[in-house]
């Protein structure tokens, strides 16, 4: 399979020079409907190029038949699939977890026994005790994971993820919303050991032309972001400017250089509260709890930070920061996710050390 072309715009499809107008129309429809920049994967191979692989993340909110009816395409074939996009195995696990738990919540409410997961009944019973579901007259389950709502970087007096205001983000991060007589409960699902708090674009702030032409970052927002993280603008630019030659690499303890008060607020905006966290660390180990403001504050409590310019384990076009806290280990990375050289995203992955 060679579905390795992941367009980020209609222009990308047109520039490729081998695709039809229907390819661009399908992209634009999915992009607008689901607010996702990479909804499809394509192949340039003649035998495959008429097939459009639509990300499986949408399986929870639509069907191929519904899409065919809406788009009325004749020259292309639609099917679900991730193609060669990065991390597709993780995406598939997450999507399947959402589908299974959605069905199991309905199974629980209908007092049936045919659960998709052997762990579901125990977990749902425990959530029911917390939220009073068993006594409710209403119980609606809505799978919303495929909507993939954006949480971009924003800047006020400092950087934030998604919002600088109240970090009650349940409506934004929900994968499954369960509504009972007592109101909605927002379930945020994670399906692997290492998962992501946030994943935000940085091309407008860590600008490639500034690094190429000036050897540093010059814009206000980019400098604000790097200062908060304790990173040196010139050293960061050197990493990306040196790619393809002798790779610039160095390790630095940046904990004392970080603007800790701002960084803690930044982390809180990425973690948020107001949702129920369900983490399938592996098929036989599932944790769940209310993400309260109190627990958010406990998670956003860094005690050390080491930066790796040019990558930690091997040389690469990236800057990593390993951050330790009493409850979680965080890894912030600044890199290009789209096949280029200069950074496109800042991501924060984490693993739990303890849940209580």
Rounded-to-10 torsion of CA 282, 169, 328, 259: 150
Give the Cα separation of 89 and 275 in Å (integer). Answer: 25
- The predicted structure's pLDDT at residue 90: 46
Strands 183-190 and 275-282: parallel
With beta carbons less than 8 A apart as the criterion, state whether 203 and 209 touch.
no
Helix axes 233-241, 220-229, angle to 10 degrees: 100
Q: How does 14-36 read in b/e, with b if 16+ C-beta sit within 10 Å?
A: eeeeebeebbbbbbeebbebbeb
Tell me which residue of 155, 251, 265 sits closest to 206, measured CA to CA: 155
Give the pair of three-digit tokens for residue 88: 């597709």
Per-residue pLDDT of the chain (356 residues; tens, 9 = 90+): 468 888 988 888 998 888 999 999 999 999 888 878 889 999 988 888 999 999 877 876 788 999 999 999 999 999 988 776 544 444 445 567 888 899 999 999 998 888 988 889 999 999 999 999 999 999 999 988 656 577 899 999 999 998 888 899 999 999 999 999 999 999 999 876 667 888 889 999 999 999 999 999 999 999 999 999 999 999 999 999 998 888 788 999 999 999 999 999 999 999 999 999 999 887 778 899 999 999 999 999 999 999 999 988 888 899 999 999 999 999 999 998 877 899 999 999 888 888 87
- Any alpha helices (H) in 115-206, and if so which ranges? 120-131, 170-173
Torsion angle of alpha carbons 313, 6, 101, 170, nearest 10°? 80
User: How far from each other are the two terminal CA atoms of the chain, in whole angstroms?
Assistant: 44
Q: Could you tell me if 302 and 255 are in contact, meaning their C-beta atoms sit under 8 angstroms apart?
A: yes
- Pick left, alpha or beta for residue 316 (phi over 0 → left; psi -120 to 50 → alpha; otherwise beta): beta
The answer to whether 61 and 146 have CB atoms below 8 angstroms apart is yes
Q: Which two tokens stand for residue 44?
A: 């340039």
Residue 67's pLDDT is what?
Answer: 93
The first and second tokens of residue 3, run together, are 């579905």
The pLDDT, as a whole number, for residue 134 is: 93
Site of tokens 């607020």: 265
Tokens standing for residue 202: 């940085």
Q: How far apart are CA 107 and CA 116, in angstroms?
A: 9
Q: How many CA atoms lie within 13 A of 20 on its CB side?
A: 14
* Of residues 291, 48, 268, the one with CA closest to residue 151: 268
Beta bridge partners, 307, equal: 252, 321
Which residues are CB-contacts of 264 (< 8 A; sequence separation ≥ 6)?
300, 301, 302
The structure tokens listed for 342 are 């200069």
Q: 């040389």: which residue's tokens?
A: 315
Nearest to 312 by CA among 256, 251, 233: 251
pLDDT for 87: 46
Q: Quick count: other Cβ atoms within 10 Å of Cβ 190?
A: 23
Helix extents (H) in the chain: 10-16, 21-34, 64-71, 88-109, 120-131, 170-173, 208-214, 220-229, 233-241, 260-271, 293-299
Strand partners, 40: 54
Residue 194: C-alpha distances to residues 26, 314, 330, 348 (Å): 32, 19, 10, 10
């Amino acid at each position: 399979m060679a579905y390795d072309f992941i367009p980020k715009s209609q222009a990308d499809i047109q520039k490729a020079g081998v695709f039809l107008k229907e390819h661009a129309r399908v992209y634009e429809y999915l992009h607008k409907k689901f607010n996702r920049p990479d909804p499809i994967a394509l192949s340039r191979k003649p035998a495959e190029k008429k097939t459009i692989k639509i990300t499986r993340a949408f399986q929870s909110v639509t069907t191929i038949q519904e899409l065919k009816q809406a788009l009325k395409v004749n020259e292309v074939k639609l099917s679900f699939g991730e193609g060669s996009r990065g991390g597709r195995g993780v995406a598939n696990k997450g999507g399947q977890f959402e589908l299974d738990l959605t069905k199991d919540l309905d199974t629980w409410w209908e007092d049936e026994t045919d659960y998709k997961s052997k762990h579901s009944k125990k977990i749902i019973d425990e959530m029911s005790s917390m939220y009073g579901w068993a006594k409710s007259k209403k119980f609606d389950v809505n799978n919303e994971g495929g909507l993939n709502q954006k949480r971009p970087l924003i800047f006020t007096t400092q950087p934030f993820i998604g919002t600088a205001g109240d970090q009650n983000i349940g409506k934004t991060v929900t994968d499954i919303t369960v509504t009972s007589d007592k109101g909605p409960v927002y379930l945020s699902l994670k399906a692997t050991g290492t998962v992501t708090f946030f994943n935000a674009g940085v091309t407008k702030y860590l600008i490639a032309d500034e690094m190429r032409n000036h050897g540093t970052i010059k814009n206000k927002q980019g400098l604000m972001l790097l200062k908060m993280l304790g990173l040196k603008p010139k050293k960061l630019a050197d990493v990306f400017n040196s790619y393809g030659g002798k790779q610039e690499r160095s390790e630095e303890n940046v904990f004392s250089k970080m603007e800790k008060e701002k960084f803690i607020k930044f982390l809180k905006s990425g973690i948020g509260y107001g949702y129920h966290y369900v983490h399938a660390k592996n098929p036989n180990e599932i944790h769940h709890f209310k993400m309260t403001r109190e627990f958010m504050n406990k998670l956003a409590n860094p005690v050390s930070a080491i930066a790796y310019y040019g990558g930690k384990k091997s040389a690469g076009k990236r800057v990593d920061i390993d951050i330790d806290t009493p409850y979680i280990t965080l890894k912030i990375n600044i890199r290009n996710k789209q096949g280029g050289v200069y950074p496109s995203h800042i991501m924060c992955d984490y693993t739990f050390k303890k849940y209580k």
